[in-house]
Structure formats: C-alpha cells, structure tokens
Amino acid sequence: MYKFVPPFELRDSILKKTIAFGGLAAISSFESNEVVAAEEESNIEEVIVTASKRESKIEDLPMSVQAITGSRLDSANVNDFMDYAELIPSLSYIQYGPGRSAFYIRGTSDGNFGNLAGPNTTVAMYIDESPINTVGLNPDLHIYDMERIEVLNGPQGTLYGSSAQGGTVKLITNKPERGQFDAGAELDFSSGKKTDPSESVEAFINIPISENVSARVSGYDVTEAGFIDLVGGTRTFTGSGYTVPLIEEQDHNESNVKGYRASLRAWINDSLTATLTHINQESYTSGSWDHQPTVLGDLKSSRVIDELTDDEWSQSNLTIEGDLGNSSFTYAGTFFDRDVRYLWDYNDYVEYYQLDSTGVTGFGYASYYTCDYYSYYYYGTFEGACNDPTMWADYSLNMERETHELRFTGGEEGDQLQWLIGVFYDKLENPYKYTYLWPGLQSYYSDGSWGGTGISGREGIWWEADNIREDETKAIYGEAIIALNENTDLTLGLRAFDSKILFNAKDGYFGGFGLDYYGHEANRTEEDSGISPKIAISRTLENDALVYFNYSQGYRPAGTNRTNRNSDAAPLYYDSDELNNYEIGYKYANSDATLRFNTALYFMDWKDMQTAVYDRDLATIQFNTNIGDAEIAGLEFDLSYLAQNGFNIILGGSIIVPRLKEDFILSGTVQATSGTQLANVAKRKLSLSINREFTAFNGLDGYFDLNVSRTGERKSSVTNPVDQPRYTLANLSTSISSDNWEGVLYIDNLTDEQAVIWEYQGYRPETIFTNRPRETGLRLKYKF
C-alpha cells in the first residue's frame, strides 16, 4: 500500500520544530502591541447545564458536575469516547477496540466487560434526553457538531434511575437555530511512522425552512488506518500437533465510522416547541486491537482467522417542550435500534483447552474432538490424522429500545420553592446469538447426530447460545428545592421504580438445546422494586462561593442468570445492589470571571455489589452474582483560570480509593480478600489543558492548545489481578484562521506513549489493548 508521508512527518527534528512553532507563535504575541482576543473577552466561558433536568449554572448546583464545551471539544480535536474520556478525571475506562468500551465514574467498577448477559452498567449515558447505555456494549457516537458534554459525578438514581449508580454522561448535540443559515465543512488528514494515512470529512448545515421551522443536518465519514501488525508464520496446536498458517499483514486493524444526524425543530407558538431528531451511525472494523509486546514485539499480534466488527445503530427522538405559565413540561420519546456482528479468532481458547488440568502441557479435551476418538480416549494417543482444530466465534445481536419520559417543572431561581415531577418508562429487547464454529470436529459430532447443525443450520458447531434478554423499567420521580433563607437551600428528591429482567436462554454443545443438568427452566424472570432518595443542603457564602452536603443513592435492579450447565454454585438469580454517596463540596467563581474552582470530597458505600464471574470449574458460561460490600473514598476538583497574558488553564484531578470491604467468597473459596482494589480504576488521574488565542501574521487569528492527561496504575481484576502501569498522553495543536476558514496543525500522542489501556486475562498469554501511536495531522475548516 502506498504510504502517505506528509511534509510535516514526525522525524525528531521536525517534531521539535513543530512544537517550537506552536510555542513561539503563542509567545511571540506577548511582545505584540496588537490586542489579544482572549484579553478582549477577559472572562471564562459560562456554562449552562441540564444536569438537574433544568437549565442551571454549574456553580449553582449542589452536586459535582463537569462540562466540556463544544469549543473545547473542537480545539482539543475530540472525535470519540476515548478522546473525551482522557479529559474527565473522575472517569476510568477500558477499551478493546473502536466502539467497544466499559467505563466507570468515581471508581464504580464491577469488572464486567463485553458480556451482554452481565449486570446493568454502573454509569448511564445519554444523547440529549435519551439513555443509550447498554450492558457490555456502549455505543460510541462520533463527536461532531456538539454543544457540550456533561459529566454528573456520583449516584444520580433520583433523576436518572437505574445504571446511574456511579454517575451519568450526557452528550448534548447542537439543535436547529431559528431563522439563521449556517453551514460548514472539515477535512482531516493524518499519518505517522507507525500507521498508514487516516482521513475524515465532516459537514453540517442549518437551514431555516420557514419563519417558525428550521432544520439542521450533520454528517461524517472517518477512516482510521491500522497500527497493529500481524506477524505471520505458523501455529502448531499442543496435543494434536496440527499446524496452521497465521495471517501476515502490516497495519492490519482499520476502522471506518460514518453517519448523520438530522433535526427538525418547530416553534409552534410562543409557548410550545417540538424537535424531531434522527441519528444513524455505522462502524466497521477489521483486525484486532491487542498486541503482545513481550511475546511478539511492540504493536504485533497473531491471528489464524481475520476478525471484524459491523455495528450499526439508529435513534429517533421526539422532544416537546411547553411553557404553562407558572410551570413548564418536557416530553421525550425515543426509539433505538442496533444491529451488531462480531467475528473473532478463538484459537487461543482451543490451545488453552488442549492443555491438561494443570494448565501446563499434555492432551486436553480439545484434541479429543478433532482427532480420533477411540485411540485418544483409551490410550491418550492418536491413530491417523487429526482434523484442523481452527475455531472462530460469530456473535450477533439485534437490539431494540423504547423510552418515554414526561416531566413538569415549576418555580425559578430565587423562588421559595422550585419543584420537578416526572414519569419514566424504558423497555429494551436484545436477542443475541453466540456461535462457536469448529469445522474440524470429527464427523460423529458435526454430521448432525449430536445436533451439530444447531439452530443456525451450520455444521461444525462446538457451542451455540440463542438468548433473548428483556429489561423493563417504570418509575416516578420528584425533586423539590426549598429556600430556607436568602442564602440556604434544601433539596429533597425521591424516585420509586419497578423493574423486570427476563432471560430466555438456550445453549448447548454441538447445537443441542434444552434444560441444563439441574433442570432449571431456560425462561426466567426477576422483578424488583424500590425507592431511591436524595437530600442536599447548600449555602451561598459572602464571596458568592457555594458549599454543600449531598446524600444520594444509586442502584441496579436484581436479575437472572442464563442456564447454568455445570454447577449449581452459580446462582439462578442475583440481588439488587445500591450505592450510598456522602459528599461535601465547594464551588467558587470570582466576580470578573477569570477564576473558577470546584471540588468535592466523598465517601460511597456499595451494598451487595453485583459482578460478573467466569470460572470454568463452576460453570461453562459467565454468570452474575453479589460478591459483598465495597467502599469508595475520593476527592475531585476542576480549576479554570484565565491569566492576564491570555492563557486559559484548565486543570482537573481525582484521587480514588476503591476497595472491597469483605472477602469475595465463591463456592467456599476466597477469590479476593477484603481491601482488594476494584478493577480498572485509576487511583489518581489528572487532566491539564493550556490554550491561548493570539494575533498571528497578516492580521490572522491564531490559537494554541495543549492537552495532557495522566492516568495512574490500575488492577485488571479483583481476582488474580495484573498491574496495569500508569501512562501519560499529550496532544498539541496550533491554528491560524480568518473570518470563514481555519487551518489546524496537530500532533496526537505527542510523546508516542504506548499505554496499557487494558490487559485482558483470558486464554492468550498476553493480551494488551493500547492507544494509537503518535500521528501528525492537518485539519482544514470552512464556514459558508
């Protein structure tokens, strides 16, 4: 493949010049007599959020909220989840490929990843008014034409319900603007020494259709080149001794994301608006995103089967907002649809089960099925040739979700009473299938005599699951803000909910389905109900700072497991868990809006924590259980400062101590002791942004932006944890612009850090998912 080498390729000398250019461009304006744009504005951008389901300034809310404005998303070159996750100190995450992530706010990690039968997520994710978080597989909306991202730290059970246990992430899109034409387009090209070229095109248009109706449409097509090399060669399986070829290809893992968002807003009268929005996004990836640096070398991996992911989802939403005089109402109805298919190489599983019970060497039962049955069973040797033991996994899901919310609000800031009451309904249906294909099975398994063609009708099936999961929630909630005096407010909130989880789970070897060995029904339902309270008291001090105490609660409903095939040690049902949060906070903004500082100190008590467990000695499939109590203590802060020389500094940080309060005991064996750190949570995380506007040459405007994040050490799991080292990521950009165009030169991963984003403890001896190598890019923007 032709490798594009831009004129600003990252050779060391050119890298130094690029960094120097950005720095000197900003510094040179110190000595200029021309007026700096930032000094003309001389204040930090005020951010209005909807975290409390009404518009408020962050400084007025008795809770911890972080917002990333649209302008900062743009200047920091944020394109996807991983980009903005690095800007949020309270958020920890794992990612095992584009669009495949699990994330946790304030350390609320249950250890689950990627399994659709796992417990509900601990963090809710919204696009505007609609929840989109999904067990095991959160959609990754491409970030373009966005108004802001809000991060609500701590349990949000009262207003956002189940799965808002650790907090809520809200992606707020730009809406149609009334009576105004606006349009723009962006082209992006990037490359690096360790990657092929990447490119993207993005565009939006805002069109007034009539005096009272406007439309806004945005679209994008983003292609990211690969950076993982498949080493080639051969693989010889233990036991059978069968040898197969490995794929050989450089920069194998490629991804493409394309989609659009179309909104239509009607101002029906002075008191009523309606907004109809449809979003569609498709992501396609080929290759794997893990590497084995110790075994094979940096950014190198091996595969027998070519892997792929095809993920398409759409969301249609109608939001109606009305002013009733002394109160107002909002209705939001959403239909969400998602189709996903994975194809994964599963030959590490085959190799793992070639081994004997010690997990070291010898004849395992995997060889038993691909070689001669009789001689292996009686003599532990094979007569005649073994079949090809290559195996792959084919996953598919077809998800549908429907949500409706209606709420009324009354009162305004300064009134004796402000109130909110609402009702919420959410139903998710997720039929999904796992098929493990093993064409090399001996004929007496694959010819159908053991049900070898299964429900999918394919031959050579090792194991197959045909599952339907349904989650349904009904809730009523309310919140009242009572002014006790001129400077003190009391907030009281309550949510009552009913939830139901249904599992229709059929699975079996060689395509055989039915009940498990203990006679459990495959179709099971678990219902749950409860109340989630909130209490907060806040006081405004003489310097207009706000101090507050906040008690809030988050919860996840009880649920049912899939059929247990090997052991009744794995429970048929698991209980609900709840998280109680005790928080004190301080918020301050000076009068000339050049300094803003928010901080919170919290302690969270996690009762009957749910987690997902895979132990082949207990069950052949992953199951969910309550492992006991945990606790999380922490401190978080964010600081914004606009210096007199025009530099805007944004610093955020978090310190988290997440640990089990008691031993995790399963089937009489201690799996993890009290005090064990929760999985995949960084105890310390810092985010720093430094940017400055300046006057460049020939009267052009200039901009300089540096973003650095520091993520501390993490544990890969609570059982047999692997230490995942700390890492630092830095991105640098500088731009020049005029009235309707802008050119941006940027470097992503400035120091070429090869971070351990997540190390998976599975069948492969070393499976490390990492970030993209250093890349230099050029972005061109034009507004019509």
199-215 per-position pLDDT tens digit? 999 999 999 999 999 99
Per-residue pLDDT at 563: 63
The ranges assigned to domains in the chain are 12-354+389-783, 355-386
Do 524 and 583 form a contact (C-beta atoms < 8 A)? no
Per-residue pLDDT at 18: 42
pLDDT band at 378 (very low <50, low <70, confident <90, very high): low
Instruction: Report whether pLDDT(471) > 90.
Output: yes
* DSSP three-state, residue 498: strand
CA distance 123 to 461: 36
* DSSP three-state, residue 140: coil
pLDDT band at 667 (very low <50, low <70, confident <90, very high): confident
> How much is the average pLDDT of 447-475?
74
CA distance 677 to 662: 12
Instruction: Report whether pLDDT(698) > 90.
Output: no
- Dump pLDDT digits (tens) for 5-60: 443 343 344 444 444 444 444 444 444 444 444 344 568 888 899 999 999 999 99
- Dump pLDDT digits (tens) for 236-260: 887 778 899 999 999 999 999 999 9
Per-residue pLDDT at 512: 62
Do 38 and 642 form a contact (C-beta atoms < 8 A)? yes
> How much is the average pLDDT of 420-427?
97
Collect all residues with Cβ–Cβ distance below 8 Å to 26 and sequence separation of at least 6. Answer: 692, 694, 702, 704, 734
Per-residue pLDDT at 134: 86
Residues in a beta bridge with 658: 632
Q: Give start and end residues of each alpha helix (H) in 670-746.
A: none
CATH assignment of 12-354+389-783? 2.40.170.20
Collect all residues with Cβ–Cβ distance below 8 Å to 449 and sequence separation of at least 6. Answer: none
> How much is the average pLDDT of 493-518?
77
CA distance 180 to 209: 10
* DSSP three-state, residue 725: coil
CB atoms within 10 A of CB 526: 19
Percent of the chain with pLDDT over 70: 85
Q: Which of 439-448, 597-606, 660-669, 671-680 has the least mean pLDDT?
A: 439-448
Per-residue pLDDT at 617: 66
**Three-state SS letters, 387-434:** CCCCCEEEEEEEEEEEEEEEEEEECCCCCCEEEEEEEEEEEEEEEEEE
* Farthest-apart Cα atoms in the chain, separation: 91
Residue 441 tokens read as 């099975």
Compute the mean pLDDT over every residue in the chain, rounded to the nearest whole number. Answer: 87
Q: Give start and end residues of each alpha helix (H) in 638-753.
A: none
Do 518 and 564 form a contact (C-beta atoms < 8 A)? yes
- 321-335 exposure pattern, b = at least 16 Cβ within 10 A, e = fewer: ebeeeeeebbbbbbb
* DSSP three-state, residue 74: helix
Q: Is 378 exposed, middle or buried (0-12, 13-18, 19+ CB in 10 A)?
A: exposed
- Dump pLDDT digits (tens) for 346-369: 988 887 765 544 445 555 566 677
Backbone dihedral angles phi then psi of residue 380, each to the nearest 5 degrees: 70, 15
> How much is the average pLDDT of 164-184?
96
Provide the 8-state DSSP code for 677: B
Do 124 and 519 form a contact (C-beta atoms < 8 A)? no
Q: Which of 29-38, 390-399, 620-629, 662-671 has maximum average pLDDT?
A: 390-399
Among 352, 435, 198, 310, which residue's Cα sits nearest to residue 767? 352
pLDDT band at 66 (very low <50, low <70, confident <90, very high): very high
Instruction: Report whether pLDDT(450) > 90.
Output: no
- Dump pLDDT digits (tens) for 142-162: 999 999 999 999 999 999 988
CA angle centred on 675, ends 669 and 677, rounded to 5°: 95
CA distance 451 to 467: 18
Mode of pairing for the β-strands spanning 229-231 and 300-301: parallel
- Dump pLDDT digits (tens) for 282-325: 999 999 899 999 989 999 999 999 999 999 999 999 999 999 99
pLDDT band at 564 (very low <50, low <70, confident <90, very high): low
Backbone dihedral angles phi then psi of residue 322, each to the nearest 5 degrees: -140, 145
**Up-side HSE of residue 481: CA atoms within 13 Å toward CB?**
24
Do 195 and 3 form a contact (C-beta atoms < 8 A)? no
**Three-state SS letters, 638-653:** EEEEECCCCCEEEEEE
> How much is the average pLDDT of 609-614?
88
